[in-house]
Amino acid sequence: MKIHQDPRVASKFQAYPDEIRPKLNNLRDLILETANESEHIKEIEETLKWGEPSYLVKKGSTIRIDWKAKSPGQYAMYFKCTSKLVLTFRELHGDTFKYEKNRAILFDLEEEIPTQELKECIELALKYHLVKDKPLLGKGNIKTDIK
């Protein structure tokens, strides 16, 4: 898989506080690892959108990650708020995650991230336009997917 990297992203990561940088690097690694494991993704763009590290693929929905000084004890993974992504994550994973309305999964700094569940959410975002018309974005009961 080819990664198109905007050099501004590295500067953004360097600007995060020392205790935050590894947390966001972990989210970045999970996004890139999940993209690399996907059959349909040949390239990914890493750029800044709204000043936040953002990840874009063809047929996918943008994923952004960030930490904000106004909420110093948490960081987040953001999704397009008009998509069905966060609503579907709630349905599939319930209270495994904390959510911000229909736009983000929130993580506390001391929290252990449920990696497999988060990678499933990332995978759905990366192939969103391929599955957006399927019940539970294709992760539902097999019987409900049969037409």
Residue 137 lies in a domain: no
- Reported as a single tens digit per residue, the pLDDT across 90-117 is 999 999 999 999 999 999 999 999 999 9
Residue 143 lies in a domain: no
Residue 147 lies in a domain: no
Residue 13 lies in a domain: yes
- Helices in the chain by DSSP H: which ranges? 7-15, 21-37, 85-93, 115-126, 128-131, 142-145
pTM: 0.92
Residue 140 lies in a domain: no
Residue 135 lies in a domain: no
Residue 23 lies in a domain: yes
Full domain range(s) for residue 110: 2-129
Q: Band the pLDDT of 138: cuts 50, 70, 90.
A: confident
CATH number, domain of 113, equals 3.90.1150.200
**Confidence (pLDDT) at 147:** 33
| Tally of structural domains, the chain | 1
Residue 144 has pLDDT above 50, yes or no: no
Please give the Cα distance from 51 to 18 (Å, whole number). 19
Residue 134 lies in a domain: no
